[in-house]
Structure 1
């Protein structure tokens, strides 16, 4: 594997380049804020499917006639879908290298979410500590906040995953997180 873009006979050398590997325990500092990439527009289908999958029988989520008579005047997006969406959005920055999620605390729905709202999420590191029982991980607590397209805070929660230490994960360009050894292009394939 080469770290240069040298050319040979007018052609560029091929090389494996390490992509984003996620953060490891050592990368987290209290006070850091990660604005997670991409917003996600919530569709009616998201809400109906999630409501049905989880057997949430509150008609506020699936009965337009009922919901139209409430103070909101329309169906609300299932709050547990909003939690799942925001947590999912945070994985790329917070828990791509987690071995377990230890807890979700202080969950608050601050404003309703409606079909067509676009959700954006960010996480702020509020605590880090070494694991007392596992040398290969540390424990990170973040406050996850989700906003709609109008900058209304719609959700906040504290999330605490156990995150691998870099030396235990040993990621590489040839074997990034989640890839089995030997799958795909290998350094010897580029020679």
Structure 2
């Protein structure tokens, strides 16, 4: 399988092909602040994310990162390649948190282009992506399918 690396270049609708796999260039190490801040912002008060002492007696032995943080970071890592020319986010389905993520883990993102279709407007097309994230041990921690309305280079490329 040939894996492309885009990161900001040539990411209009026409650049994608069904079956194409992209390894996004950047990784992100999870800091405790990110987990606590986002968990607080969305009012997730589960001890799993806040109480290190309580979590020492569990199967994890430490606090786990809130799944919303994991999802946001994987989608964020993929966004420079798959959302920079987005006109609209249409949907996200089939979200799965596959393995726990902990403070200090580093996440990397991959994308497979599942399908491309014409939109109801000539300046854009619809792409369906499968995103997944792995940690530094290559364990899959997150996956989802995301549908995006993307600009066509033929209409937006010279702007």
Q: Choose which of 87, 94, 107 in structure 1 pairs with 2:82.
A: 94
Partner of 1:149: 136
Structure 2 CA distance for aligned equivalents of residues 47 and 96 of structure 1: 25
Residue in 2 aligned with 1:181? none
Question: Unmatched 5+ residue regions in structure 1?
Answer: 1-19, 173-191
Give how far 1:21 is off: 4.8
Displacement of 1:73: 1.2
Query: After the TM superposition, which residues 26-45 of structure 1 pair with which residues of structure 2 at under 5 Å, given as runs?
Result: 26-45=14-33
Partner of 2:146: 159
- SS at 2:48 equivalent: coil
Contact 1:42 1:114 in 2 (8 A): yes
State how far apart, in whole Å, the 2-side matches of 1:22 and 1:162 are: 16
The structure whose residues are more often strand, as a share, is 2
- Shift of the alpha carbon at 1:70? 2.0
Match of 1:103 in 2: 91
**Which has the higher Rg, Structure 1 or Structure 2?**
1
Secondary structure at the aligned position of 1:90 is classed as: helix
> Residues 22 and 46 of structure 1: is their aligned pair in 2 closer, same or farther, counting only changes over 3 Å?
farther
Once residues 9 and 52 of structure 2 are traced to their aligned partners in structure 1, the CA distance between those partners, rounded to angstroms, is: 43
Q: What TM-score comes out, normalization by structure 2 length? A: 0.91
Aligned residues: 152
Query: Equivalent residues in 2 for 1:134-145 (5 A)?
Result: 134-145=121-132
Give the Cα separation in 1 of the matches to 2:10 and 2:78.
11
TM-score (norm 1): 0.76
Task: Tell me the residue number matched to 2:39.
Answer: 51
Matches within 5 A, 1:1-191: 20-131=8-119, 133-171=120-158
